[in-house]
Structure 1
């Protein structure tokens, strides 16, 4: 009987070691990563793509689509929080521009849109977040349109110098939504390396002869694309919303998406989506699904 007892003790100790990495069976010594906590970021392109005069859409203006996309992101974020036990809350969401708009109120808006949930939050905080995300994004777009000085969006520089500090947290699912038409241009980050560029415009697409069904072959053969902005962003998920190609080239949208896809792959972003400027009612299910992480 003693031999059987000692044998059972040894099996139990080995089992504890395999589970916790130590013979004491003390779980506090093991590292537990809670991937159920999320860190959601929204990068807004405030270029003239949102100008209702220059880029009008009678069905629904693009700035209005953006505000509805943001509401859907907020809805998905709060749905995720509500699906968890309060003691596990450790999630956050924030909005970025790059560069910052000239209106000093923008800083105040972004501060209010930076929200964090932990186990000490009160029940009315959910209502507060809903109210902020239903009102402030529209104020941001209205301010940019009223100002009329569209500063553009330096997306390339954001990925080069800020995305790791701003959008990636340890032990989190890091999700970045980018609201843009898919073109990339800013005067302060306009350069090329061989045939790759830090920007993409309709004019560049034409000059590179990417106007027929063989655009993928042309891109690969001539080594065209975005200059790589970062080395390893494998712990970042990216969803681009609002791709809106100029009319005249039926392959323009395909070229835009090919540029972005190749860029993401070079930076080791494994989980990404590229969505056109569709009506919010069509994109909301996609946004909610992306945040939930359910296939």
Structure 2
């Protein structure tokens, strides 16, 4: 009887140990999914006349040149992220968008080339290929747009309304959207406003509108809040998207113009439930690169 009891106790102990081991394995599997840091980076380029060196010259560094350097910094941060991972965990991608598409048909081919992805089967020499593409092709895009000189504006509002969910957000990814723009928003196809008793929302923002709304003094924040000025909400819930706006460049004449532009963008991001966002001025690339790299690394 004692022997039987002893055997039963041993079987019970072994069974518990086995279950405990399986539980630990299950926890480990779950932690791999939770800690996954697969990245999906998108770059939306505003190809309006803000990049025209004749209309908006800058002797220190032209704005289109700043943009290309910002893009290089984004690519650098993306590749640094990939290299920090084990090959078996690679499942990351990066792409470039315009809205609307430029008239040059070559642009479509360039954007195809700039859509890059990494998985566990990606060869090591692919890193050099991506580096080469992002060192050359963005400049070709800007040069083509400047040569074409048909600046129809950038429909950022419509992009957020109809495309950002499909193009820039993927499940089980860290989704980051970089927007290269001067902060103004205008396109003739989606220019409208919504006037209500306590608010005046628009799908656009121009220097003319800022003046019309009398947002030209230090009390602009109170005016925005009191009158309900801002962008029309374009999306209900973008909580799975981080947004980083680079290149805010106000027109001269209103010392509060830049702050007004940033306030519009900040309020818009909050209304669309974007939890993480940054809105940066058109600074020199050497100053913005550390900010870009930090934003991508999350450190």
TM norm. shorter chain > 0.5? yes
Task: Please say which structure displays the higher CA radius of gyration.
Answer: 2
Alignment of structure 1 residues 7-156 onto 2, 5 Å: 9-10=15-16, 13=19, 32-33=33-34, 35-156=36-157
Cα 1:237–1:5 shift into 2, 3 Å: same
Q: 1:143-292 maps to which residues of 2 (within 5 A)?
A: 143-194=144-195, 195-292=200-297
Counting matched residue pairs gives 289
The ranges of structure 1 where at least 4 consecutive aligned residues each deviate by more than 6 angstroms after the TM superposition are 26-31
Shift of 1:32: 2.3
TM-aligned CA distance change 1:27 to 1:77, over 3 Å: closer
Which structure 1 residue ranges, 5 or more long, are not aligned?
none
CA contact (8 A) 1:182 1:242 kept: yes
**For 2:33, what is the secondary structure of its paired residue?**
coil
For residues 4 and 249 of structure 1, what CA distance do their matches in structure 2 show? 83
Cα deviations across residues 143-185 of structure 1 (Å, max 9, x unaligned)?
0000110121100000000000000011000000000000000
Q: Which runs of 5+ in 2 are unaligned?
A: 1-5
Q: Which residue of 1 aligns with 2:3?
A: none
Secondary structure in 2 aligned to 1:106?
helix
Corresponding residue SS for 2:189:
helix
Deviation (angstroms), 1:3:
5.4
CA distance in 1, matches of 2:260, 2:21: 54
SS in 2 for 1:32: helix
Mapped partners of 1:31, 1:72: distance in 2: 29
Q: Is the 8 A contact 1:156 1:229 kept in 2?
A: yes
TM-score (norm 2): 0.91
Give TM-score scaled by structure 1 length.
Answer: 0.93
Deviations 1:68-110 (A, max 9, x none): 0000001111111111111111100000000000000000000
Secondary structure, aligned partner of 2:74: helix
Cα deviation code 1:98-156 (max 9, x no counterpart): 00000000000000000001111111111110111000000000000001101211000
Question: Contact 1:34–1:171 (CA<8 Å) still a contact in 2?
Answer: no
Give the aligned CA root-mean-square deviation in angstroms: 2.1
